[in-house]
């Protein structure tokens, strides 16, 4: 801390800050995580309110407002009424002043009503009619042939025409801000989906048939499923079936040892599986929004096990699941106590070797920040940088941007202020809304109306094992990256000075997933614009999680990859996709070959930990932090 204060003072006085030494300071024995001290790192200019008062009393206006917002959030599922109201007001006022748009919508409504009425009359007379409208190709609700028979065909087409009309009404209104238009369109679509005929027994032919055949037994079983789910939520247990997928038992079983632990991370070193290994170790930086073992699921789905089997020495960070006591951890704490502390440990255990660093999702964003700061400070410990579904420019960050504006962030900050963190359920709700038909309504139909249970998979069980977000860190992350886009625009500061991704000179391997709702692949592709180095970009089929967890032998995966060099000129993402060759199968061997190409000749494996350097081999993987509820 003293070094950081000295550097900031020198910078303020116009002097040149001294680089901070990276000497490791590791514990020689495993401390009790419950007794680990709180850590306060370098603070940025982001304003974060102090902790709420411990006892009730006379509150200041700001504290009272925050408490009110935190209470309202329990009713509104974390959605700011002000943000929603501003968006709808912007849309309504501009629509009210657009008689031409109103006339167009009235004409469209009349035309579609006439078409639907004529189609219904012909259908009632026994004629076979072409549908007035077809569902979008991504809409799987009405695929069964039963939806094509009367009266369900008219019910479905009426709903789809209504949905189409509201889409036209909420978009293309001149003068409405792009963000407000997206919010209104999204919110209206969510509201309409509540009334989808697929969600009700009497308007869903599949549910009606199942209920009649079983004499209502499916509804009774669905009621039991709903009661069980409610009991599990109230008692803090995971969804039904997740008890068969436990970290350290069925999942995260690749052999290894915890070789370092601090107040924020455990560093796991994995045991070699080959007689010799590539000399450069691989350090994996997962996102702290998730448990690290998404990259070490069941043995057949483990990316870490795959790398070890190919002769790589692999280290992985396992983040602590923060609680209220960690409210003041910030972005720089995650960089300093996470990436940099891990690099110190890896450098001590495998000396005189550069490191292949790989970051997934938010871990990739954090790794980009760390790599840029290291390049600025002439720290040359990285050999390559790999970014898996990780964004560095947030101007096109997908539908998550619907929840990012000043009103919504202020509301979210008040929620975190009251409890010290963002809870797992509060965060999961936003992701579920982005795919409500797949994650909410289809589950309602399947589990509660049909009375069935989906078979849990390792990926589904991991997805239910969510983590919390510290108040200060999450506020800084959302404001500095999502809202202000400071990293891409050169304003993101590390230790008092801005960093630039253009300083990174190591080869970069970037992976995007074609169906990503969290980090859209075109947004991930922007690393090509932001760096002045060789970038190998790979686009794989699948979504944010399933696209990354793609082991060899996956029957439905394809990927495209091509190398882009800085001196060859910019290629936009659509031209790149049109030109890049298509390959069948997993992208893992492609990445491993790239790592091997950038590595030296195999050598004997390094030891597990290095006690004499302060990094003893502690307990077996997966360690303690991943087991924290």
**100: in domain:** yes
Average pLDDT score over residue span 17-36: 39
| pLDDT beyond 80 at 546 | yes
Residues 269 and 208 in one domain: no
Q: Which pLDDT value is given to residue 400?
A: 78
Q: How confident is the model at residue 33 (pLDDT cuts 50, 70, 90)?
A: very low
pLDDT at 442 over 70: yes
pLDDT tens digits along 455-502: 889 999 998 888 899 999 999 999 999 999 999 999 999 999 999 999
Angle between helices 152-170 and 99-124 (to 10 degrees): 170
pLDDT band at 289 (very low <50, low <70, confident <90, very high): confident
pLDDT for 34 equals 37
| Domain-embedded: residue 50 | no
Query: pLDDT band for position 37 (50/70/90)?
Result: very low
Selection from 345, 258, 330, 237 nearest residue 288 by Cα: 330
Question: How many distinct structural domains can be found in the chain?
Answer: 2
The whole-angstrom separation of Cα 146 and Cα 446 is 17
Number of Cβ within 10 Å of residue 195's Cβ equals 12
The helix (run of H) or strand (run of E) holding residue 315 is strand 314-319
Q: What are the pLDDT digits (tens) for 510-529?
A: 999 999 988 999 999 999 99
**194 and 303 belong to one structural domain:** no
- pLDDT at 431 > cutoff 80: no
473 contact partners, CB below 8 Å, separation of at least 6: 329, 330, 331, 333, 334
Q: Name the pLDDT band for 57 (thresholds 50, 70, 90).
A: very low
Helix (H, G, I), strand (E, B) or coil at 351: coil
How much is the pLDDT for 427? 64
Q: What is the pLDDT of residues 376-416, one digit of tens each?
A: 999 999 999 999 999 999 998 877 788 888 888 888 888 88
Q: Are residues 85 and 201 in the same domain?
A: yes
pLDDT band (50, 70, 90) for residue 80: confident
The torsion region of residue 18 among left (phi > 0), alpha (psi -120 to 50) and beta comes to: beta
Burial grade of 362 (CB within 10 A; 0-12, 13-18, 19 or more): buried
Tell me the residue range of the domain where 316 lies: 256-395+485-627
Is the per-residue pLDDT at 126 higher than 90?
Answer: no
Mean pLDDT in residue range 202-206: 95
Predicted confidence (pLDDT) per residue in 326-344, tens digit: 999 999 999 999 999 999 9
Q: How many CA atoms lie within 13 A of 61 on its CB side?
A: 0
CATH classification at residue 607: 3.40.50.1820
Do 364 and 513 lie in one domain? The reply is yes
Judgement on whether residues 275 and 374 belong to the same structural domain of the protein: yes
Whole-angstrom Cα distance, residue 338 to residue 573? 32
Contact in structure between 553 and 586 (CB atoms under 8 Å):
yes
268 with 199, same domain: the answer is no
The structure's pTM equals 0.86
Is 287's pLDDT higher than 90?
yes
Domain match, 189 and 313 both: no
In a domain, 605, yes or no: yes
pLDDT of residue 61: 63
**Catalytic site positions:** 361
* 95 and 201 in a common domain: yes
The sign of the torsion formed by the CA atoms of 25, 28, 32, 33 equals: positive
End-to-end Cα separation, the chain, in angstroms: 31
Strand 355-360 and strand 282-285: the pairing is parallel
- 381 or 241, higher pLDDT: 381
Whether 94 is in a domain gets the answer yes
- Residue 498 placed within a domain: yes
**503 inside domain:** yes
The residue with greater pLDDT, 275 or 75, is: 275
The larger pLDDT score, comparing residue 78 to residue 518, is at: 518
Give the per-residue pLDDT at 583: 96
Q: Is 499 found in the same domain as 582?
A: yes
pLDDT at 311: 97
Cis peptide before 622 (omega within 30 of 0): yes
Nearest 10 degrees: CA dihedral of 102, 106, 111, 115?
120
From 626, 622, 602, 621, select the one nearest 281 (Cα to Cα): 602
Q: Please say which residue of 160, 180, 213 terminates a domain.
A: 213
Residue 467 within any structural domain of the chain: no
Do 204 and 338 reside in the same domain of the chain?
A: no
3-class DSSP state of 512: strand
Strand intervals (E) in 480-571? 493-494, 497-498, 508-513, 535-540, 558-564
240 located within any domain:
no
Tell whether 208 and 269 lie within a shared domain: no
Q: Does residue 306 surpass a pLDDT of 50?
A: yes
Mean pLDDT of the chain: 87
- Would you say residue 574 has pLDDT above 60? yes
Residue 131: which pLDDT band, with cuts at 50, 70 and 90?
Answer: confident
Residue 31 scores a pLDDT above 50 = no
pLDDT of residue 49: 54
Q: 148 or 31, which is more confident?
A: 148
The reported pLDDT for the residue numbered 459 is 93
- The last residue of one of the domains, among 198, 213, 228, is 213
Looking at the fold, whether 180 and 270 belong to one and the same domain comes out as: no
């Amino acid at each position: 801390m003293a070094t950081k204060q000295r550097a900031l003072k020198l910078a303020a006085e116009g002097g040149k800050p001294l680089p901070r030494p990276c000497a490791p300071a590791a514990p020689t024995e495993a401390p009790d995580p419950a007794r680990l001290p709180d850590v306060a790192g370098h603070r940025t200019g982001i304003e974060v309110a102090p902790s709420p008062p411990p006892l009730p009393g006379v509150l200041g206006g700001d504290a009272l407002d925050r408490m009110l917002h935190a209470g309202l959030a329990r009713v509104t599922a974390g959605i700011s009424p002000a943000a929603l109201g501003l968006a709808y007001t912007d849309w309504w006022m501009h629509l009210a002043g657009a008689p031409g748009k109103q006339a167009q919508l009235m004409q469209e409504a009349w035309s579609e009503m006439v078409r639907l009425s004529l189609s219904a009359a012909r259908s009632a007379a026994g004629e076979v009619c072409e549908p007035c409208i077809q569902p979008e190709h991504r809409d799987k609700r009405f695929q069964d042939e039963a939806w094509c028979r009367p009266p369900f065909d008219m019910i479905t087409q009426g709903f789809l025409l209504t949905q189409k009309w509201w889409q036209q009404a909420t978009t293309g209104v001149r003068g409405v801000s792009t963000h407000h238009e997206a919010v209104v369109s999204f919110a209206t679509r969510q509201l309409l989906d509540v009334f989808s005929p697929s969600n009700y027994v009497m308007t869903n032919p599949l549910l009606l048939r199942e209920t009649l055949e079983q004499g209502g037994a499916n509804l009774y079983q669905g009621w039991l499923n709903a009661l069980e789910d409610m009991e599990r939520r109230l008692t803090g247990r995971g969804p039904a079936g997740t008890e068969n997928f436990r970290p350290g038992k069925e999942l995260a079983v690749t052999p290894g040892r915890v070789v370092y632990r601090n107040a924020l991370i455990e560093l796991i070193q994995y045991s070699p599986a080959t007689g010799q290994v590539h000399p450069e170790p691989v350090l994996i930086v997962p996102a702290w929004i998730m448990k690290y073992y998404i990259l070490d699921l069941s043995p057949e789905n483990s990316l870490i096990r795959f790398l070890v089997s190919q002769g790589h020495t692999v280290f992985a960070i396992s983040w602590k699941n923060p609680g209220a006591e960690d409210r003041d951890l910030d972005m720089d704490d995650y960089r300093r106590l996470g990436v940099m502390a891990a690099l110190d440990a890896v450098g001590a255990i495998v000396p005189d070797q550069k490191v292949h660093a790989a970051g997934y999702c938010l871990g990739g964003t954090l790794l980009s920040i760390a790599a840029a700061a290291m390049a600025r400070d002439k720290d040359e410990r990285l050999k390559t940088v790999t970014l898996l579904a990780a964004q560095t420019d947030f101007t096109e960050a997908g539908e998550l941007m619907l929840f990012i504006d000043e009103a919504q962030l202020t509301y979210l900050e008040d929620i975190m202020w009251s409890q010290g963190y963002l809870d797992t359920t509060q965060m999961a709700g936003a992701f579920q809304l982005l795919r409500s038909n797949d994650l909410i309504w289809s589950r309602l139909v399947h589990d509660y109306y049909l009375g069935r249970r989906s078979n849990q998979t390792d990926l589904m069980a991991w997805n239910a094992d969510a983590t919390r977000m510290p108040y200060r860190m999450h506020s800084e992350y959302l404001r500095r990256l999502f809202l202000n886009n400071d990293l891409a625009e050169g304003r993101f500061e590390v230790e008092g000075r801005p960093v630039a991704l253009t300083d990174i000179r190591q080869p970069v391997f970037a992976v995007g997933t074609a169906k990503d709702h969290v980090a859209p692949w075109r947004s991930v592709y922007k690393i090509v614009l932001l760096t002045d180095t060789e970038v190998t970009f790979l686009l794989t089929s699948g979504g944010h999680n399933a696209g990354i967890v793609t082991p060899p032998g996956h029957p439905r995966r394809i990927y495209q990859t091509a190398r882009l060099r800085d001196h060859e000129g910019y290629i936009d993402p659509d031209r790149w996709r049109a030109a890049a060759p298509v390959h069948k199968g997993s992208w893992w061997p492609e990445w491993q070959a790239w790592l091997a190409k950038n590595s030296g000749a195999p050598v004997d494996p390094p030891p597990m930990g290095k006690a004499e350097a302060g990094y003893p081999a502690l307990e077996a993987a997966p360690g303690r932090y991943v087991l924290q509820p």
